[in-house]
Amino acid sequence: MRGVAISLGTTVAQQLIRLGSNLILTRLLFPEAFGLMALVQTFMAGLAMFSDIGIGPSIIQNRRGEDPDFLNTAWTIQVGRGVMLWLGACALAWPAAQFYNEPQLLSLMPAVGLTALIAGFQTTKTVVANRQLRLGRQSAISLATQCIGILVMVVLAWIWPSIWALV
């Protein structure tokens, strides 16, 4: 029951933080930046869904979920998926830029795709912690990183009001 409360509280806090940051960023940036970023995120979400192979659920549900060999294999697959997502974003950049007649997509898609590449290197220990229902520390880390990321975005948008503040 405690895990449910932590998960629910974290989700509500994340949504409130996201709402607040969006309200601030809409004052600092132009509407086209949000539209273009929504387009990029749509492509990235499509790539991510198309390539989702269920590494996290596999670690949580498999009886070998805490075996180092199993975790190392899962991590390697996860890194490979991150690389493939980034390469997919790079490959889609030119056709998307041509189709939407938006040259900024040529640089935005590979840049945003880097987040998938970096996420591929995420440790499997976070999934193991979920498996063991140790959610408190993970929730705190998640909220802290979200706040830091939003702070960086707001400062960048204030100093340099361009779409790159959203990347």
Whether the pLDDT of residue 1 is over 80: the answer is no
pLDDT at 51: 84
Question: Tens digit of pLDDT for each residue in 2-14?
Answer: 778 888 999 999 9
Place of tokens 């490959």: 91
What percent of the chain stands above pLDDT 70? Answer: 99
How far apart (Å, rounded) are the C-alpha atoms in residues 140 and 14? 11
pTM of the model: 0.85
Closest residue by Cα to residue 139 from 2, 11, 32, 1: 11
